[in-house]
Amino acid sequence: MPVYVRSLETAVPPTVLVQSQARDVFAAQPGLTRLGSRLVTTCFDSAAIDRRYTAVAELTLDAHPENPSFFDPDSGQVLSPSTKARNEIFASEATKLFVEAAKSAVAACPGLDLLDITHVITVSCTGFFNPGPDYKVVRALGLDPAVQRYHLGFMGCYAAFPALRAARQFCTADPDAVVLVICVELCSLHVRTSNDPDTIMGSAIFGDGAAAAVVTSREPGPDETVLRLDHFETVLTPVGEEAMAWNIGDEGFEMVLGSYVPHIIEEHITGALEPLLAREKELAGLPYRDIPHWAIHPGGRSILDKVESKLDLTEEQLVPARETLRNYGNMSSATVLFVLKFILAQQPSAREERICSMAFGPGLTVETGLFTRISTQP
């Protein structure tokens, strides 16, 4: 029984971080060594990002809060609030994005009644609160209180795939199931100033965003473009456990993003794709570029460069990932859904087009998905 993403919508907070302005602020922080300052400039300039969005309204030069806790525009200093202070903002601002994205996805799904929704899956690795976002969505949207609720927390950048896979399994088990999946990440809550290269890289590439999808086995109607969820696979690379991690510190969450991560992905990406493509005989052994669309999680510019080169993909096939990175940065779990939305919005060249998708996270974990974009337009 086929299962579809019938709608996929995104949302971002209102405050824009212009990359060049953020670079200048971080490069001028007191306590940076000359090497640290040069690393800031290099990381920000080479990130292939123009702008990002943040739920922290005071993280701009235009904001002038009476009692700044994240950024003092008068002194230009990036401050170090406690993990508790950061998480309190997460509880408030993430809830808004969970609800906004969920409402948009429901509204964009033809013929869907709120009481049709049977499951809610929420995803985030950038904060915690309870009653959690799954509860908040049910209350805010007026869903049936008996809706089954699940929260996937602290998994990292690949977590949208386990959420979609679970949604697919629910729909396969119950043809009447309608699953609402929402990913929200407020990565900017955890930015800090440091001479550490991993911390600098995190400040240079991460942004905030949300994405929500309605997943069901209900057949699409006329004049729709949907995403059929065909197969998922998970692979752990034999190395890289220390190269990518996400830890909780006293002054926010601490990203470990080693410079060797792109090389690990380059070395193991073809092996990670093998079990996925082996699911369909016509794809096994096919040149990778013969699969029309590639939805790659843009963990960073160098990762996309390695993927494009190793798989011999065309520049056009990496446009959805690179444009997402350029306009939003890395929004952890929500990012690959932004990439998939970009592909869904493209003009179809056939009624059915295959999409191969990948996301990377701590472990190193490689999550892969094989999808089909289906256009029912006449």
SS3 (DSSP) at 112 = coil
Distant-in-sequence, close-in-space partners of 351: CB < 8 Å, separation ≥ 6: 374, 375, 376
**Sign, Cα dihedral of 157, 44, 240, 316:** positive
125 catalytically annotated: no
Structure tokens at 70: 């994240």
DSSP 313: -
Residue with tokens 């590639």: 294
Find how far residue 41's CA is from the centre of its chain.
Answer: 25
3-state secondary structure of 346: coil
Amino acid at position 33, single letter: T
Q: Which of 157, 171, 183, 187 is catalytic?
A: 157
Q: How far from the centroid of its chain's Cα atoms is residue 240's Cα?
A: 20
Strand locations in 12-132, DSSP E?
15-18, 51-54, 71-72, 77-78, 119-124
Rounded Cα gap, residues 217 and 168, in angstroms:
8
The b/e string for 13-34 (b: 16+ C-beta within 10 A; e otherwise) is bebebebeebbebbbebeebee
Position of tokens 């896979």? 165
Q: Distance of alpha carbon 327 from its chain centroid, rounded?
A: 13
Q: Which strand (E) or helix (H) includes residue 194?
A: none
| Active site members | 157
